[in-house]
Amino acid sequence: PMSSKYITTFGGTLLNEVRASSLIGDGLASCSLAFDTNKVEDRSRSIVLASDNQVVDPSGQQVYSLSGAADLASEESNIRLFSLFGSDPTTVDPKLSGMTLDQARQDLRTVTEDHGGFFYEVDDPDAVEGIVKELETDQATVLEGDTEVRITDVPQTPAAWLVAVV
């Protein structure tokens, strides 16, 4: 039996009717579809996906493959994908996931880069800086609109009197 603390923490992610785990394609598709439907051209849309790409789905319950979800993100929603690959080699079981650690890494890299995204390793010291730099570059778009300047308090005269008195 699961502890109540575990169920409280992960309750929204556990479904008794789904006998699978790490459905990375469905997770990416879900994030892509969570963006608003207002297709503003100059709006930045990015997803940072951290995964070991070890899908365990013996019954084929995953709706979107990783590649299909990346298609949805890049073509349908114009989302840039940043993939951060990390894994604990002691937990990888190719019999369950169908991929070795190297195959999973290469698959995530290929899908990400084929869709114009950026791939990083979790232990790469430049990963965070690279992701932030790309996000800042993308979000530096100047939004046009009417600007309004309001001056609410300009204590020039009272400040001058105060200085003179002191």
Residue 166 to residue 112: CA distance in whole angstroms: 66
pLDDT, average across residues 124-134: 91
Which pTM value belongs to this model? 0.71
Is residue 6 scored above 70 in pLDDT?
Answer: no
Is residue 21 scored above 90 in pLDDT?
Answer: no
Determine whether 47 is exposed, middle or buried from the number of CB atoms within 10 Å of its CB (0-12, 13-18, 19+): buried
pLDDT, average across residues 36-64: 82
Is residue 15 scored above 70 in pLDDT?
Answer: no
Specify the pLDDT at position 148. 76
pLDDT, average across residues 40-59: 84
Q: Confirm if 129 and 84 have CB atoms less than 8 A apart.
A: no
